[in-house]
């Protein structure tokens, strides 16, 4: 999952979906990514957005971006995209 810019896919877990009617998970995920990367275009950064049953996203981040997002309000945990196995 590493690319040439030393970015790695991380899961940003944000818990339950807020019950506010005006909350749109995808826009929130994009805003967070824009904020931590300082880039207006997040093309290639957002891998997945979790928005139907809980809140979070998977994104390509550098180590410093990972630290930034981990300290943001609303983020429960940030962890590398691990590989599990069939048993």
Partner 1 sequence: TTASWDFMGLKEGNKTNRNLSVESDTIIGVFDGGIWPESESFSDKGFGPPPKKWKGICAGGNNFTCNNKLIGARHYAPGNATDSSGHGTHTASIAAGNAVAKTSFFGLGYGTVRGAVPASRIAAYKVCDGECKDDYILSAFDDAIADGVDIITISIGDINVYPFEKDPIAIGAFHAMSKGILTVNAAGNTGPYTASIASLAPWMLTVAASTTNRVFVNKVVLGDGKTLVGNSLNTFDLKGEKFPLVYGKSAASSASEVKCAEDCTPNCLDASLVKGNILVCNIFLPYVAYTTGAVACIFKDGSDWAQIEGIPVSGLQEDDFESLLSYIKSTNSPKAAVLKSETVFNQPAPKILSFSSRGPNIIAADILKPDVTAPGLEILAANSHKALPFYDNTHVKYTVESGTSMSCPHVAGVAAYVKTFHPKWSPSMIKSAIMTTAWSMNASETRYASTEFAYGAGHVDPIAATNPGLVYDSAKADYIAFLCGMNYNATTMKLISGEAVTCTEKSLPRNLNYPSMSTKLSRSYSSFSVTFSRTVTNVGTPNSTYKSKVVLNHGSKLNVKVSPSVLSMKSLNEKQSFTVTVSGSDLDSKLPSSANLIWSDGTHNVRSPIVVYAG
List of residues contacting partner 1 (CB under 8 A): 9, 11, 13-19, 47-48, 50-54, 56, 58, 74-77, 79-87
C-alpha 57/C-alpha 66 separation (Å) is 13
Closer residue to partner 1 (CB): 21 or 84: 84
Of 25 and 68, which has the nearer Cβ to partner 1?
25
Nearer to partner 1, 11 or 30 (CB): 11
Residues 6+ apart with CB under 8 A from 33: 42, 45, 46, 57, 59
């Amino acid at each position: 999952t590493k690319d040439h810019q030393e970015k790695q896919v991380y899961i940003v877990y944000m818990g339950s979906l807020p019950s506010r009617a005006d909350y749109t998970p995808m826009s929130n995920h994009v805003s967070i990514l824009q904020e931590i990367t300082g880039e207006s275009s997040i093309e290639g950064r957002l891998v997945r957005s979790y928005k139907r049953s809980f809140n979070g996203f998977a994104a390509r981040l550098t180590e410093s971006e990972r630290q930034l997002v981990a300290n943001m309000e609303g983020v429960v945990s940030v962890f590398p995209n691990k590989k599990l196995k069939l048993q």
